[in-house]
C-alpha cells in the first residue's frame, strides 16, 4: 500500500485510531484525525459531514466507528477508499497470523494461545481487540514471529485482504445487533476471517456450532474441528490424542475447556508438541474480567465476569457454577433477548440483581422466573448481594450487557466491582 504524500483521514481517536495515525505519518502520509469528541491530537478536526466530504485519498476507520454511516457511504460513492484498522495493518504485518474470533471466549483463547507459544519458546506477540492495536503490532512484527490477534466483528466487517494463516472461530451467538442490525450482518462480518484465507492455511472451527460449521464452506483452508465431544473419560483430546485431564485446566467452566481446545489446535499447527501445550495450560491464569475470582468473604465467593457483555456469555458464566448464585445483570442493552436465560437462572440462581439502563427490559423478560432485586447501580448490587448471600453462595457479575450507561467500558465496570468487593473484605477483616 503506497502511503507517501497521500491525504488520509483517520476516524475515531481511541487506541486503534491513534496507532493508525502514527503508522500513516511514519510512512509519509498527510494525516487528519477526527472524532466526535475534542482530542489533543495534531491535525485534529471535530467529526462532521463536512470533514468526510473532502477529497481524501484514504479514510481509515477505528473499530468503534460504524462502517455504514451515510457520510462514509457517500465517500465510497465518490471513489474514496474506506478501510478499517486491520486492512491498514495487513501490508505491514510481518510474520504469520493466528486470527481468533467468536462471540465469546476470544480474549481468553487469544491470551492462552500467546501464552502457550511463548512458554514453548516460539516468537510471538499478542494483540488486536485485546491490548495492542493491530496497526501498532505491525511496527513490532518480525518475519520469524507469530502474531496472535483477537478479532472482533467490528474489525472484520471492513476486512478485504487481511489473511490469517490460522483462523479460529469459537462460537457465533446473538451479539452486537445494536451495531450490525441483523444476525445475518453479524455472521457475515465474522465470516470474512475465513473468506480471505488462502490454500495452505488452516481453519479451526467449533463442530458443535452451526455458524462455525457454515464457515467451512467459505474457506479453502484445511479444516480442524473441536467440540465438547472431544472431552471424554475426564480427558481433553486433540486430534484424537489425549492432551490433559479436565481437572488440570486452571480456568473454570466447560466453555473454558473449549477455549483450551481451540488454543491447543492453533498452537499445534504452529508446531508446539502436545506435552508442552499441556504444561503451558497448567500455568495459565484467568484474564482480568473473565470469570475472575475476586475474593471470598464470610464463605461467599465473588467472581468478576464483566466481559460477559452478551446473553450467551452470561449463560456460560452461570454454567460454570453448580448453583447458589446471586447474578448481577444489566447495563446497556444490545438488542438482546434475556428470556432465554429464564430456565438457567431459575435452576441456578437465588436471585438476579439488576442494574443500569436495561433494568426495565430485563425485568419484563425475567419476571416470574426467579426473584429480582432492583439495585440500579453496581455499588448497591454488591451491597444487596453481600447482605443476602450465605456461606457457600457465589456472587457473580455477569451483566449480559455492555457497560456504556454507567462506565467507560467493561474494564472500568469490572475494576469498580473488584474495588467494592475489596472494600467489603477490608470491612469484614476489621
The Cα 287–Cα 379 span in angstroms is: 23
H/E element holding 374? Answer: strand 372-376
144 and 193 fall within a common domain = yes
pLDDT reported for residue 400: 96
- Structure-block grid coordinates of residue 50: 463536512
Could you tell me if 377 and 309 are in contact, meaning their C-beta atoms sit under 8 angstroms apart?
no
361 and 397 fall within a common domain = yes
For 306, half-sphere exposure in the C-beta direction (CA atoms, 13 angstrom radius) is 21
Of 165, 172, 170, 125, the residue nearest 149 (C-alpha): 125
* Adjacent-strand bridge partners of 353: 328, 373
pLDDT reported for residue 266: 98
Residue 283 burial by CB count (10 A; 0-12/13-18/19+): exposed, middle or buried? exposed
H/E element holding 237? Answer: strand 235-238
Q: Which of 69, 87, 105 is the last residue of a domain?
A: 87
Helices 106-119 and 274-282: crossing angle, nearest 10°?
A: 120
Alpha-carbon distances, residue 139 vs 22, 95, 425 (angstroms): 10, 12, 43
Could you tell me if 290 and 255 are in contact, meaning their C-beta atoms sit under 8 angstroms apart?
no
183 and 304 fall within a common domain = no
Which residues constitute the domain of residue 67?
7-87
Q: Which of 282, 313, 344 is the last residue of a domain?
A: 282
144 and 166 fall within a common domain = yes
User: Is-above-0.85 flag for pTM?
Assistant: no
231 and 171 fall within a common domain = yes
257 and 158 fall within a common domain = yes
The Cα 428–Cα 239 span in angstroms is: 49
Alpha-carbon distances, residue 128 vs 50, 63, 68, 91, 125 (angstroms): 31, 10, 22, 16, 10
Examine residue 363 and state whether it is found in any structural domain, yes or no.
yes
83 and 101 fall within a common domain = no
Name the pairing type of β-strands 58-61 and 81-84.
parallel
pLDDT reported for residue 430: 64
The Cα 267–Cα 261 span in angstroms is: 10
Q: Which of 53, 87, 121 is the last residue of a domain?
A: 87
Which parts of the chain sit beneath pLDDT 50? none
What is the side-by-side strand order in the sheet with 124-128? 124-128, 146-150, 96-101, 166-169, 202-206, 222-226
Contacts of 423 by beta carbon, 8 Å cutoff, 6+ apart: none
Name the pairing type of β-strands 96-101 and 166-169.
parallel
Examine residue 104 and state whether it is found in any structural domain, yes or no.
yes
**Can you give the CATH number for the domain in which 21 is found?**
3.40.50.720
The Cα 56–Cα 198 span in angstroms is: 31
Residue 71's Cα: distance from chain center in Å? 28
Residue 34 burial by CB count (10 A; 0-12/13-18/19+): exposed, middle or buried? buried
Examine residue 11 and state whether it is found in any structural domain, yes or no.
yes
Could you tell me if 357 and 405 are in contact, meaning their C-beta atoms sit under 8 angstroms apart?
yes
36 and 111 fall within a common domain = no
CA pseudo-torsion sign 266, 205, 250, 417: positive
**Can you give the CATH number for the domain in which 200 is found?**
3.40.1190.10
159 and 257 fall within a common domain = yes
Examine residue 233 and state whether it is found in any structural domain, yes or no.
yes
- Structure-block grid coordinates of residue 143: 518475519
The tally of domains found in the chain comes to 3
pLDDT reported for residue 374: 98
Amino acid at each position: 500500500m503506497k502511503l507517501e504524500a497521500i491525504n488520509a483521514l483517520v476516524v475515531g481517536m481511541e487506541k486503534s485510531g491513534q496507532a493508525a495515525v502514527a503508522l500513516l505519518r511514519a510512512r509519509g502520509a498527510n494525516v487528519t484525525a477526527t472524532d466526535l469528541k475534542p482530542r489533543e491530537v495534531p491535525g485534529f478536526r471535530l467529526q462532521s459531514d463536512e470533514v468526510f466530504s473532502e477529497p481524501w485519498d484514504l479514510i481509515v476507520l477505528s473499530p468503534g466507528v460504524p462502517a455504514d454511516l451515510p457520510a462514509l457511504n457517500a465517500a465510497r460513492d465518490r471513489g474514496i477508499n474506506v478501510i478499517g484498522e486491520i486492512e491498514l495493518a495487513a501490508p505491514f504485518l510481518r510474520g504469520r497470523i493466528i486470527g481468533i474470533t467468536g462471540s465469546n471466549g476470544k480474549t481468553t483463547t487469544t491470551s492462552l494461545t500467546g501464552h502457550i507459544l511463548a512458554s514453548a519458546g516460539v516468537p510471538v506477540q499478542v494483540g488486536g481487540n485485546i491490548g495492542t492495536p493491530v496497526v501498532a503490532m505491525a511496527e513490532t512484527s518480525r518475519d520469524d514471529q507469530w502474531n496472535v490477534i483477537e478479532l472482533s466483528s467490528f474489525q472484520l466487517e471492513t476486512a478485504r485482504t487481511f489473511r490469517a494463516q490460522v483462523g479460529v472461530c469459537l462460537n457465533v451467538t446473538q451479539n452486537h445487533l445494536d451495531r450490525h442490525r441483523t444476525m445475518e450482518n453479524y455472521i457475515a462480518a465474522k465470516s470474512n476471517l475465513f473468506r480471505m484465507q488462502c490454500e495452505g492455511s488452516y481453519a479451526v472451527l467449533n463442530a458443535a456450532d452451526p455458524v462455525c460449521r457454515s464457515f467451512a464452506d467459505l474457506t479453502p483452508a484445511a479444516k480442524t474441528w473441536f467440540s465438547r465431544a472431544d472431552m471424554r473419560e475426564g480427558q481433553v483430546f486433540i486430534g484424537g490424542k489425549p492432551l490433559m485431564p479436565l481437572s488440570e485446566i486452571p480456568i473454570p467452566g466447560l466453555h473454558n475447556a473449549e477455549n483450551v481446545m481451540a488454543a491447543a489446535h492453533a498452537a499445534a499447527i504452529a508446531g508446539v508438541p502436545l506435552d508442552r501445550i499441556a504444561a503451558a495450560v497448567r500455568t495459565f491464569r484467568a484474564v482480568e474480567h473473565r470469570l475472575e475470582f475476586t475474593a471470598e468473604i464470610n464463605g461467599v465467593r465473588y467472581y468478576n465476569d464483566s466481559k460477559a457483555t452478551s446473553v450467551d456469555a452470561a449463560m456460560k458464566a452461570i454454567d460454570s457454577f453448580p448453583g447458589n448464585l446471586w447474578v448481577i445483570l444489566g447495563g446497556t442493552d444490545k438488542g438482546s433477548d434475556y428470556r432465554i436465560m429464564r430456565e438457567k437462572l431459575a435452576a441456578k440462581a437465588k436471585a438476579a440483581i439488576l442494574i443500569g439502563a436495561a433494568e426495565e427490559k430485563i425485568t419484563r423478560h425475567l419476571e416470574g422466573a426467579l426473584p429480582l432485586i432492583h439495585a440500579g447501580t453496581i455499588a448497591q448490587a454488591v451491597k444487596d448481594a453481600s447482605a443476602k448471600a450465605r456461606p457457600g453462595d457465589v456472587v457473580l457479575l455477569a451483566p449480559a450487557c455492555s457497560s456504556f450507561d454507567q462506565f467507560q467500558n467493561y474494564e472500568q465496570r469490572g475494576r469498580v466491582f473488584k474495588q467494592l468487593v475489596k472494600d467489603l473484605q477490608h470491612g469484614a477483616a476489621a
